[in-house]
Chain A
Amino acid sequence: MRTDPLRVTGYAMLSALGGSRDEHLRSLIEGRTGLGKPPFELPFATAVGAVTTPLPELPAPLAPWSTRLARMSAQLIAQLDEPLRRARQKWRPERIAVLLGTSTAGADSTERAYRAFIADGRFPDRYDFLRQHTFGAVLHVVAELAGARGPAWMVSTACTSSAKPFASATRLMATGMIDAAIVGGVDTLCQMTLHGFESLQALDRAPCRPFHKDRLGISIGEGGAFALVERTGDARVLVEGVGETSDAYHVSAPHPEGAGALAAMKEALHFAGRAADDVDHVNAHGTGTKLNDSAEAKAIGALFARPIPVVSTKCYTGHTLGAAGALEFAFSACAIEEGWVPPALGADELDPEIRLHVPRDVVRGTYRRVMSNSFAFGGNNVAILVGAP
């Protein structure tokens, strides 16, 4: 069945760089990272990308669902107010889907509540697992705030979680089940994920340096991005194709040659009816670990003959885990709309085995198509081909 490109009529961004598209652009063009000290005590050193933007309170009827994750979602929905108002005039509420991704869900709320439970033998009075932790809790908040009554689900495939909803929306649109969707994802910092990546010896002590010869690992971040996609309307950018593959190799390590990553990028091109030469820039997954960056670089090198700029924006925001796919879709959209690619921070001495064009300065140009990569535990791979309208 033919699938048409998704028309992105609005998008919103929230990360350590700020709570608006403009704030993100300012940091990117100035080469200013959002990574810094963690907002809570940890028994090890690491840099994180914490959101410092004030978050709105939820309306009173939604107060029982109020968590940092839900309030971050509310901040993103508020950024989309104008295009959402137009969409609601055009489409019936039951034809507007909410398709999001998260890795942590409400883990930050639960870990705080559980710590209190261990100390006092009881959960805090306002803690409610079903309204503050589950995947459906944030779906409920977003659907209510957006006035959307269509199909709603949360994808949770670790670090590809918020990239996959773009593919889900493409399918629901192609099969006539919806006319519009809010797609994207959110994740919050929490102790459990930081301790977990520390246990894997995957955290850098300093801000991460994707593709650097001495890179030492990840910096974790939090944030999110939502996009409004519609069947018709004035598109800012298009989602031309989404590739989804598996490594079938290891639960936490990537295929060493990047086979699954390469297959995902090829599939995105196939669904879009495009060739590799049509792509002008790659927003890499680029976590800053030895294995991940090496495997991804091999995949990118195998696919693209031209030396197109390859940047991992995780050096600005940290790895926002389940939100990374959507946030980096938004960075890809910015490159197309603004006509520049940000400098890759911390990549001053490239790994000699990584033969990619990783720019250290802003690269201005015409970007018609950007490939945005996301890879995850479980060998889960997603590549989104974002195009100019």
Chain B
Amino acid sequence: MTSPRVAVTGLGFWATGFPTVAAWIAGAPDATADKPQGKALDRVNRRRAGPLDRALADVVAEAIAQAGVDPASVPVVVGSSIGEAVTMIGLLDEMWRNHNPMSPADFTMSVHNAASGLISISNKNRGMTTSIAADENTPAAALLEGIGLALTREVPVVVACADEPAPPTLVQHAPPWAMLASAIVLAPQGAARALAHLEVEERGAPTIAPGPFAPLLLQNPQIGLALVVDAIARGAPGVLPLDRGTGRGHVARISVGAP
């Protein structure tokens, strides 16, 4: 399977020390950027938001701004492999370790679509939003959902993927990873402001060397979308893996310049 081709019109990125795409490409870590800020969330929802939600809000806002799309109407696809597992462990601890009544606020924020809900409320976006997961195939799945949306609705679509570190008690025998979030705005071909074009293929041999990602970032299940953002920001065409090497092997084919 090869997906139809779409344009890419906006990018967003967050990793510890690199709170924007520009900071990442510049390669000089900012020691003060140790936590995602969630600046795009309104005050009430920023208080509710955990680090994952804040990171997703930040990368969505950055990509939307670059693409010049309307935050109040653009469809948003959020991908995350483990989502709010950290919140879930907190709920289980309260219930069974501390024998406390469950916090209604924490319960409502334990759903996988907490981030997409907060983003839609903050942006007053009454359009479509979704949250999906497919373990380490999540970046490929989120891109396919985004491509389907962009082409059938003929509108720009934001695809954002993020995972925070897995609770170590639950994932004891897998390599740990660090928080990573990235976003991309997809649009039908012919869109103004196209930075690149992209299609997803079922498998293929990568031709682009990954950017300078630390091992803890390369282990993040969402590394695939971050590699795409990095390659487009560097203007590097070619084929990139969309998983960290043990998924189904989907790749993204990126072309820069005219379609």
Of the candidate stretches A31-39, A56-64, A112-120, the one touching chain B is A112-120
CA of A172 to CA of B81, assembled, Å: 21
Q: Which of A103, A192, A200, A248 contacts B120 (CB 8 A)?
A: A248
Q: Tell whether A289 is near chain B: CB-to-CB under 8 Å.
A: no
Of the candidate stretches A127-135, A208-216, A272-280, A353-361, the one touching chain B is A127-135
Instruction: Closest A residue to B84 by CB, please name it.
Output: A156
Q: Would A251 and B121 count as touching, CB distance under 8 A?
A: yes
Q: Tell whether B86 is near chain A: CB-to-CB under 8 Å.
A: no
Most buried by B among A115, A157, A198, A260: A157
Q: Would A248 and B134 count as touching, CB distance under 8 A?
A: no
Q: Would A199 and B101 count as touching, CB distance under 8 A?
A: yes
Q: Would A200 and B108 count as touching, CB distance under 8 A?
A: yes
> Given A94-B202, A152-B141, are A174 and B148 also a contact pair (CB < 8 Å)?
yes
CA of A184 to CA of B16, assembled, Å: 37
Q: Would B104 and A157 count as touching, CB distance under 8 A?
A: no
Would you list which residues of chain B between 84 and 109 have a CB under 8 Å from chain A? 85, 88-89, 91-93, 95-97, 101-104, 107-109
Chain B residues in 8 Å Cβ range of A195: 91, 95, 101-102, 107
Q: Which of B1, B111, B128 contacts A244 (CB 8 A)?
A: B128
> Given A135-B81, A171-B148, A378-B113, are A248 and B125 also a contact pair (CB < 8 Å)?
yes
CA of A110 to CA of B87, assembled, Å: 13
Q: Tell whether A107 is near chain B: CB-to-CB under 8 Å.
A: yes
Q: Would A156 and B111 count as touching, CB distance under 8 A?
A: yes
Chain B residues in 8 Å Cβ range of A67: none
CB distance from B165 to the nearest CB of A (A): 13
Chain A residues in 8 Å Cβ range of B109: 251
Q: Tell whether A170 is near chain B: CB-to-CB under 8 Å.
A: yes
CB distance from B6 to the nearest CB of A (A): 10
1/0 contact string of A141-171 vs chain B (CB within 8 Å)? 0000000001111111110000010001011
CB distance from A217 to the nearest CB of B (A): 13
CA of A269 to CA of B125, assembled, Å: 21
Q: Tell whether B4 is near chain A: CB-to-CB under 8 Å.
A: yes
> Given A118-B97, A199-B103, A378-B117, are A248 and B148 also a contact pair (CB < 8 Å)?
no
Instruction: Closest B residue to A152 by CB, please name it.
Output: B134
CA of A59 to CA of B28, assembled, Å: 52
Q: Would A196 and B102 count as touching, CB distance under 8 A?
A: yes
CA of A134 to CA of B135, assembled, Å: 7
Chain A residues in 8 Å Cβ range of B145: 153, 168, 171
Q: Tell whether A95 is near chain B: CB-to-CB under 8 Å.
A: yes
Q: Would A251 and B117 count as touching, CB distance under 8 A?
A: yes
Chain B residues in 8 Å Cβ range of A377: 108, 111, 113-114, 117
Q: Tell whether A245 is near chain B: CB-to-CB under 8 Å.
A: yes
Q: Tell whether B126 is near chain A: CB-to-CB under 8 Å.
A: yes
Q: Which of B112, B128, B136, B172 contacts A156 (CB 8 A)?
A: B112
Q: Tell whether A54 is near chain B: CB-to-CB under 8 Å.
A: no
> Given A114-B89, A251-B109, are A135 and B96 also a contact pair (CB < 8 Å)?
no
Chain B residues in 8 Å Cβ range of A129: 166, 170-171
Q: Would A156 and B113 count as touching, CB distance under 8 A?
A: yes
Q: Would B112 and A1 count as touching, CB distance under 8 A?
A: no
Q: Which of A107, A174, A263 contacts B152 (CB 8 A)?
A: A174
CA of A156 to CA of B174, assembled, Å: 24
Q: Tell whether B189 is near chain A: CB-to-CB under 8 Å.
A: no
Would you list which residues of chain B between 131 and 146 have a CB under 8 Å from chain A? 131-138, 140-142, 144-145
Q: Tell whether B124 is near chain A: CB-to-CB under 8 Å.
A: yes
Q: Would A171 and B152 count as touching, CB distance under 8 A?
A: yes
> Given A134-B135, A136-B135, A199-B102, are A95 and B1 also a contact pair (CB < 8 Å)?
yes
Chain B residues in 8 Å Cβ range of A111: 92, 96
Chain B residues in 8 Å Cβ range of A192: 88, 91-92, 95, 102, 110
Q: Would B144 and A380 count as touching, CB distance under 8 A?
A: no
Would you list which residues of chain A between 232 and 252 have a CB under 8 Å from chain B? 244-252
Chain B residues in 8 Å Cβ range of A345: none
Chain B residues in 8 Å Cβ range of A376: 111, 113
Top 4 nearest A-B pairs (CB, nearest first) are: A378-B117, A136-B135, A171-B148, A156-B112
With A133-B170, A156-B133, A200-B108 already in contact, 4 other A-B pairs whose C-beta atoms are closer than 8 Å: A94-B1, A118-B96, A175-B152, A378-B116
A selection of 16 A-B contacts at a CB cut-off of 8 Å is: A95-B1, A133-B85, A136-B134, A152-B134, A153-B144, A154-B132, A156-B112, A157-B129, A157-B130, A177-B1, A200-B107, A246-B125, A246-B128, A252-B108, A377-B117, A380-B113
